[in-house]
């Protein structure tokens, strides 16, 4: 189920990035007094009262752009409006109402999205001088805040939650497998989707960047339901020069967030690039099922060593994805396209597989006997028990005497032994370490 999206828009230097960082709980967006300092796509996960949502921090004007200022502002605001479920329209109480605020308001009035007018830089909530002029924008009651000191932030987030759309029923989509197709531009993502659907559902072009948006399309195959997301190609940041492409990148990463499985498409002719590693790393860190598709395999000259040599090099480059299946395909010829669906089904089954606590701890006892936990400065790690707490991806909690003694290498050893005993191909495993107080110990 997709998380709702909150976009923060407004003219430059009104405090958008400061608010974004405060809600995110860490410094993500660059904050500076220079208008237009937010140049790269920026989004993060926000949380309030147990509710998760995706935030977009929109950039200000682009001083170096040759385009008209208003055109740039309109382009950026329209993309943010399209992505968002709720929009925070931020203005500056100290600077007062400006013609640019009116231009943004005019765009937002045409959007079919809930808009909250946020007046930033209000230092005294009892005497919010200067906010009343903003009624002229016709965007409802101005909501005074201070993004620097957090004034009224909790009340603002309460209002945001109220305006988010109601969550979809989990039962309504429990049998739907969500698959994001991601990779560099021009690797064959849209062509793959058309192959799977057997028709021209998506515009296909050899021009990199043809797909500007993520496209969700559902299909039922042999009684199983899938939602495929053909994402815009993800370029290296230095090549992302236009605002519209910055938000295509944002949407591509957001599509991974909303998927169960990511198909990582690699160009066989180029091999694994640094950008491929970044894309795959993002999906891995997000806990998604991963299938690596090496496309254009039909264009490679082969001998009896080509496959093994290529696979070895790929595994070396993507060492952190040793669990991910690799398919060598040709979207053009249709080679192994049917195997993709079979592999998706297998990976999804592994993502939702559960191990009973009893069986888990029988295995844990064997693991510890084979290789006892390490010691550090005379203290030995004690492992009490382990239990599975979640799926998509499989999540386990390991209870120990001292969290600091649980070295990464030993946890990786435990993960490898779990994989040897149970089939978790295609899905990462997450192991969380929790200290357990011994009886009679300090409270």
Question: Is residue 277 predicted with pLDDT exceeding 60?
Answer: yes
Between 185 and 78, the higher pLDDT residue = 185
Query: Which of 306, 328, 349 represents a domain boundary (last residue)?
Result: 349
Between 438 and 395, the higher pLDDT residue = 395
Q: Provide mean pLDDT across the span 430-439.
A: 81
Q: What is the pLDDT of residue 438?
A: 54
Of 188, 180, 216, the closest CA to residue 204 belongs to: 188
Query: Which of 349, 370, 387 represents a domain boundary (last residue)?
Result: 349
Average pLDDT, the chain: 81
Same domain, 17 and 100: yes
SS3 content of the chain, % helix, strand, coil (to 5): 35, 25, 40
Q: What is the pLDDT of residue 406?
A: 92
- Do the strands 379-380 and 375-376 form a parallel or antiparallel pair, or are they unpaired? antiparallel
- Reported confidence tier of residue 303, pLDDT bands at 50, 70, 90: very high
Distance CA 386, CA 372 (A): 16
Q: What is the pLDDT of residue 181?
A: 92
Query: Which of 314, 349, 384 represents a domain boundary (last residue)?
Result: 349
Q: Provide mean pLDDT across the span 105-132.
A: 82
Q: Provide mean pLDDT across the span 76-91.
A: 80
Determine the length of the chain. Answer: 443
Q: What is the pLDDT of residue 156?
A: 95
In Å, how far are 311, 320, 329 from 326, measured between CA atoms?
A: 8, 14, 9
Name the E strands within 58-99.
Answer: 86-92
What 3-state class would DSSP assign to 289? strand
pLDDT of 172-229, one tens digit each? 456 789 999 988 888 998 899 889 887 544 444 454 544 444 557 788 888 888 988 8
Q: Which domain holds residue 220?
A: 171-349
The fraction of the chain above a pLDDT of 90, given in percent, is: 47
- Report which DSSP code applies to 295: E
Same domain, 80 and 191: no
- What domain count does the chain have? 3
Q: What is the pLDDT of residue 64?
A: 42
Same domain, 319 and 400: no
Same domain, 138 and 258: no
- Reported confidence tier of residue 83, pLDDT bands at 50, 70, 90: confident
Q: Could you check whether the bond before residue 393 is cis, i.e. omega within 30 degrees of 0?
A: yes
What is the distance of C-alpha 249 from the center of its chain? 11
Decide if 442 is inside a domain. no
Q: Name which of 90-104, 148-162, 380-394, 428-442 the model is least confident about.
A: 428-442
Same domain, 318 and 225: yes
Residues 6+ apart with CB under 8 A from 301: none
Which residues sit opposite 68 in a β-bridge? Answer: none
Q: What is the pLDDT of residue 84?
A: 85
Global confidence as pTM: 0.65
């Amino acid at each position: 189920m997709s998380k709702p999206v909150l976009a923060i828009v407004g003219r430059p230097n009104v405090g958008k990035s400061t608010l974004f960082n405060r809600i995110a709980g860490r410094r993500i967006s660059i904050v500076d007094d220079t208008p237009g300092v937010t140049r790269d796509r920026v989004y993060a996960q926000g949380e309030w009262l147990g509710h998760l949502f995706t935030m977009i921090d929109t950039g200000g004007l682009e001083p170096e752009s040759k385009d008209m200022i208003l055109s740039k502002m309109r382009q950026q605001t329209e993309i943010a409006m399209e992505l968002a479920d709720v929009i925070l329209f931020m203005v500056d109480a100290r600077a007062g109402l400006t013609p640019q605020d009116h231009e943004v308001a005019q765009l937002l009035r045409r959007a079919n999205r809930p808009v909250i007018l946020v007046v930033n830089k209000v230092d005294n909530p009892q005497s919010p001088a200067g906010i009343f002029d903003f009624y002229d924008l016709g965007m409802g009651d101005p909501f005074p805040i201070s993004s620097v000191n957090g004034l009224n932030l909790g009340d603002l987030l309460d209002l945001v939650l109220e305006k988010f759309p109601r969550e979809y029923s989990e039962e309504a989509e429990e049998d739907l497998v969500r698959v994001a197709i991601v990779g560099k531009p021009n690797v064959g993502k849209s062509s793959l989707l058309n192959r799977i659907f057997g028709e021209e559902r998506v515009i296909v072009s050899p021009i990199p960047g043809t797909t500007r948006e993520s496209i969700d399309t559902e299909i039922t195959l042999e009684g199983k339901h899938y939602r495929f997301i053909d994402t815009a190609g993800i370029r290296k940041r230095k090549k992302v020069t236009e605002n519209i492409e910055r938000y295509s990148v944002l949407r591509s990463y957001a599509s991974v967030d909303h998927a169960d499985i990511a198909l990582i498409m690699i160009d066989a002719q180029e091999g694994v690039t640094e950008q491929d590693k970044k894309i795959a790393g993002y999906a891995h860190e997000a806990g998604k099922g991963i299938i690596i598709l090496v496309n254009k395999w039909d264009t490679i000259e082969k001998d009896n060593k080509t496959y093994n040599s290529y696979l070895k090099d790929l595994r070396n480059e993507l060492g952190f994805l040793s669990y991910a299946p690799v398919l060598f395909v040709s979207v053009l010829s249709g080679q192994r396209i049917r195997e993709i669906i079979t592999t998706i089904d297998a990976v999804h089954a592994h993502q939702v597989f559960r191990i009973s606590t009893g069986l888990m701890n029988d295995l844990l006892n064997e693991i510890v006997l084979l290789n006892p936990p390490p010691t550090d400065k005379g203290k030995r790690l004690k492992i009490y028990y382990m239990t599975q707490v979640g799926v998509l991806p499989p999540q386990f909690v390991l209870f120990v005497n001292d969290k600091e003694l649980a070295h990464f290498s030993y946890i990786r050893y435990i993960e490898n032994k779990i994989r040897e005993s149970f089939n978790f191909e295609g899905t990462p495993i997450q192991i969380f370490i929790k200290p357990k107080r011994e009886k009679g110990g300090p409270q």
